[in-house]
Structure 1
Amino acid sequence: MEPRVGNKFRLGRKIGSGSFGEIYLGTNIQTNEEVAIKLESVKTKHPQLLYESKLYRILQGGTGIPNVRWFGVEGDYNVLVMDLLGPSLEDLFNFCSRKLSLKSVLMLADQMINRVEFVHSKSFLHRDLKPDNFLMGLGRRANQVYIIDFGLAKKYRDSSTHQHIPYSLPWQGLKAGNKKQKYEKISEKKVSTSIEALCRGYPTEFASYFHYCRSLRFNDKPDYAYLKRIFRDLFIREGFQFDYVFDWTILKYQQSQLTTPPARALGSGVGTSSGMPTAIGNADRHAAGQDVQAAGMSPMDNSRRRTTSGPLMYSGSFAKQKNPIANDPATKDSAYTGQSGGSSKRASGREAVAGSEFDPQRSRTTDASPGHKHLNQQRGPVESSSDPKQTGRNTKNYEAALKGIEGLQFESDERNQY
């Protein structure tokens, strides 16, 4: 007899592990919809899944927060059933040979700051932020960044008074033998590495980000709009387009072209330097423009027609895609780049973005997105040094990453009608 959860879900194969549990692929018995099922032994010394499920309930409805389908106890396990998501940023980083273009980093940063801001707005600190805990969606939500794994999250202020809750830092007074020595070495490394050394070779905006974050005092509220604005200004200055074509999108397409040659001509509309068929380029720009529009990245002419939609996602049918953060409340009340600077050079840069992404009426051209043109010409890819210890882990995660990326299907026979 097949294992079942709550008499609603069929338990499948193991697909990963979180901070305090194992994660399995599951299927809704009635709808056949795939879900993620997280299991934790009821005998574990420090159970976290019940706490995590309660926190997910508090965060429900936020953009980039997975939905909880069911929580309960089955036999010897606490069980949490939630949305099935795609590969993590760590998986995708490995898929791209641990190098990401500046364009991809900036598009990710915008959503990631929004996710952290939302969690903070609910009076919680995540306390385990890392690439493994940011996942991309699947299917129609393949371009939306999700934040997961709240087992270590902590409430930092009273929800009604917004007063900070006084506690010592979690690493103070640690008694852990070898682990303590390890933490001390990590601490020494962090303290001894200057921001300038950490950000050497990259745009100054990254150093500005760190300097601002480190300047915050305990009770200061971060200016999230400012942090997003410095990266958005850099994005515009570099001439990129907010089309949500990430490095792995292009890599996946290139691989698909090697294995399955196109049955017919892809048509015009996107220049050869982008390597992307018209259906992909146009649909991404159409949907992404609505997100940047909602975020206020560029001043818009009132005569331009605006459209609204939900999140941008990949489903294999690019004409039906929507943008990832058009409805993100974190983007609606912020000033962003439309308020900064005033030079004609910067204005023209914004207009270039607005023309290709914001304005559905704009005629198509054969020019590739500047973001595509600059993909291999940027000041330097964002990368990490190779670590032999990660080789085994990278190999282990590669198959899972590929499976998640398989959701990014490309169809050249559909055209997005404006």
Structure 2
Amino acid sequence: MAGRVKKAAPKRKAAGYKMPAPIPTGEVIKDNIFKKEWRIGPSIGVGGFGEIYSACDHTSKAKGSDYPYAIKIEPHENGPLFVEINFYLRNANKDDIAKFMQSKKLTSLGMPTYFGKGTHESKGVTYRYLVMERFGKDVWSLFTEAGKSFQPATVFQLGLQMLDVLEYIHSRGYVHADLKGANMLLGLKKAKNQVYLVDFGLATRLKEDQPFTPDPKSAHNGTIEYTSRDAHLGEPTMRGDLEILGYNMLQWLTGELPWEKSLKQPKTVQSMKEAFMKNVRSSIKDSNVPEALIKFFEYINTMKPKEVPDYKKCRKLFEDYLKTEGKTRNSTLEFSPMKAKSPGKARSPTKAARSRVIAEDSDGSDEESEEPLKVTKQNGEAPKKRGRKPKVVDADTENEVPEKEKVKVTKKIVKRKSSEPAVLVKVKKTKLNPVATPPAKDNHSNIATQTSIEKLRYSPRVNSSRHVSFDSPISEIVGENHKDSRSINSSGDIFDDSFTIKEVKVKKPRRKLLSNEEVVVKRVVRKKVTAVKKPGRSWKDTPTVVNGRSPPK
């Protein structure tokens, strides 16, 4: 006989509640009350007493982030989800929420609704589940992403939204008792600017007809850093919900609460909260905390344990502060870090102050200016940057001139009119010595400093004493009548040496001649010129002027 199959035992948390075993994706949950079937999607989080999965209708083809619902699942023997389901059944009716919004003239309310509930069995284990609308990121995740610091306007906008939800819950005869960023979720699609309060596992029904009596068995219930003084005594109250909200807002503004280092000792945390609330104004040392939050804490101190809060007064405190910031309760929520306020803004140096730079130090040091100076050589080329990095003598960091900003140095030193200290910079004094033209090599004419006429006479291309200029019309024929009178464009000196005139008798072909007269034709014949090597010219033979000075003899 086969052995008995053991059931998969869920993991047990330290608080005594069992955590559910993972449920495979794609498993179908049947709702016998609403006659619906839900298909489990990927897990989207783990709560204090169970796991939360994305879900959709079994007939739909949802994938990834298209799952429009969230299913919270816990082992059947756990108690918190049972409390939450009963709270939703009594207080999450759509009609009741709509009536409250209409009476308060609200366009949205952060009170979630539910779509189904029941029990489900998987691998021999019975679970209890609750189907709700799916939401986006929680405020705590946004808070940590922003470096644990929200802008004050965002903090008071969140405070106003939570006040509306608390007023609705209190009007139904319940307190939440566990407000925190992890239980505040952003809406999706059209409700992106609305935060919803979830997780009613610690929601407690008010004992309106009974006096305030501490219960040691329920002492310190909730999340210890935000638990109210009444909840530390074991009796959650409406004023306790406001106190918890105030602690959250204080943490969003300052980054941490005064008692966060003692969370393992609930009684120590309780005594620290008592001392804090006795004198809130002196306990809050952070200057970034607005007066509106201090007055909110002071109002909570005036309340009696069973007193119904004055929500209008609290709203007015928050709304008045938002007006000073140019915001309203319906402004877009911005979850960016809080801008740190500096005690005094350092003024940037003015244009006149930046331009006043001492051009040269008296000791003639070899240090350069922080900014580039406009210095050019005589031939128009800018000198290369040399030397060490700039060294500022006056250590005034507030008026330090940025590196990228260019400073124009003026020759005249203007008297300072500004009260700001001038920037004293050591500048390297650049001396430019005239550079003489180097001597030419053998058989090489220095054409760098020659005039156009000299270049013509002493060209390195032909090693001869004469050179034909390209602007001379060599096609012009020099005749007998042109010996004394020359054309303007002709070059007589070239033709005298380089060419000779020969008289050659040319016999015409035998033709029928009209006469026996002989004709003398003059031809221009090129004369062979033997190149004569001459010694190379020295640079001293050329009357060259370099940089306004003649070369040494």
- 5 Å-filtered alignment, 1:59-208, equals 59-60=91-92, 61=94, 62=97, 63-75=109-121, 76-157=126-207, 163-164=209-210, 167-169=213-215, 170-171=218-219, 182-193=265-276, 194-196=279-281, 197-198=283-284, 200-201=286-287, 202-208=289-295
Indicate the residue corresponding to 1:2 in structure 2.
Answer: 26
More helix by share: 1
Counterpart contact for 1:14–1:23, Cα < 8 Å: yes
1:39 and 2:73 are equivalent in the alignment: yes
CA-to-aligned-CA distance 1:234-277 (integer Å, 9 cap, x gap): 111233355532223x79xxxxxxxxxxxxxxxxxxxxxxxxxx
What is the CA-CA distance between 1:120 and the residue it aligns to?
Answer: 0.7
Counterpart contact for 2:110–2:165, Cα < 8 Å: yes
- What SS class does the counterpart of residue 100 from structure 1 fall into? coil
1:139 aligned partner, one-letter code: K
Give the count of matched residue pairs.
246
Q: Per the alignment, do residues 153 and 165 of structure 1 end up closer, same or farther by CA in structure 2, a change over 3 Å counting?
A: farther
Q: Runs (4+) of structure 1 moved beyond 6 Å?
A: 377-380
1:64 aligned partner, one-letter code: G
CA-to-aligned-CA distance 1:58-97 (integer Å, 9 cap, x gap): 2223332212111111012101111101111111112222
Indicate the residue corresponding to 1:216 in structure 2.
Answer: 303
- 5 Å-filtered alignment, 1:390-405, equals none
Distance in 2 between residues matched to 1:109 and 1:133, nearest whole Å: 14
Identity over the aligned pairs, expressed in percent?
Answer: 25
Counterpart contact for 2:214–2:233, Cα < 8 Å: no
Specify which of 54, 62, 69 is matched with residue 86 of structure 2: 54
Q: Per the alignment, do residues 37 and 151 of structure 1 end up closer, same or farther by CA in structure 2, a change over 3 Å counting?
A: same
What is the CA-CA distance between 1:225 and the residue it aligns to?
Answer: 0.7
Counterpart contact for 1:126–1:154, Cα < 8 Å: yes
- What SS class does the counterpart of residue 11 from structure 1 fall into? strand
What's the TM-score, normalizing by structure 1?
0.54
Distance in 1 between residues matched to 2:326 and 2:146, nearest whole Å: 23
CA-to-aligned-CA distance 1:170-201 (integer Å, 9 cap, x gap): 31789xxxx99721121122123341223631
- What SS class does the counterpart of residue 213 from structure 1 fall into? helix
Counterpart contact for 1:126–1:150, Cα < 8 Å: yes
1:228 aligned partner, one-letter code: R
1:129 aligned partner, one-letter code: L
Indicate the residue corresponding to 2:433 in structure 1.
Answer: none
What is the CA-CA distance between 1:379 and the residue it aligns to?
Answer: 9.0
Distance in 2 between residues matched to 1:19 and 1:190, nearest whole Å: 24
Distance in 2 between residues matched to 1:37 and 1:379, nearest whole Å: 47
What is the CA-CA distance between 1:166 and the residue it aligns to?
Answer: 5.4
Specify which of 26, 31, 39 is matched with residue 55 of structure 2: 26
Larger Rg: 2
Distance in 1 between residues matched to 2:185 and 2:263, nearest whole Å: 30
Distance in 2 between residues matched to 1:377 and 1:168, nearest whole Å: 42
Kindly indicate whether structure 1 or structure 2 has the higher relative contact order, using CA contacts under 8 Å at least 6 residues apart.
Answer: 1
Counterpart contact for 2:71–2:129, Cα < 8 Å: yes
Indicate the residue corresponding to 1:238 in structure 2.
Answer: 325
- What SS class does the counterpart of residue 16 from structure 1 fall into? strand
Counterpart contact for 1:10–1:28, Cα < 8 Å: yes
- What SS class does the counterpart of residue 154 from structure 2 fall into? helix
- What SS class does the counterpart of residue 129 from structure 2 fall into? strand
What is the CA-CA distance between 1:23 and the residue it aligns to?
Answer: 0.9
Q: Per the alignment, do residues 246 and 173 of structure 1 end up closer, same or farther by CA in structure 2, a change over 3 Å counting?
A: closer
What is the CA-CA distance between 1:165 and the residue it aligns to?
Answer: 6.6
Q: Per the alignment, do residues 189 and 204 of structure 1 end up closer, same or farther by CA in structure 2, a change over 3 Å counting?
A: same
Distance in 2 between residues matched to 1:106 and 1:36, nearest whole Å: 28
- Give the aligned CA root-mean-square deviation in angstroms: 2.8
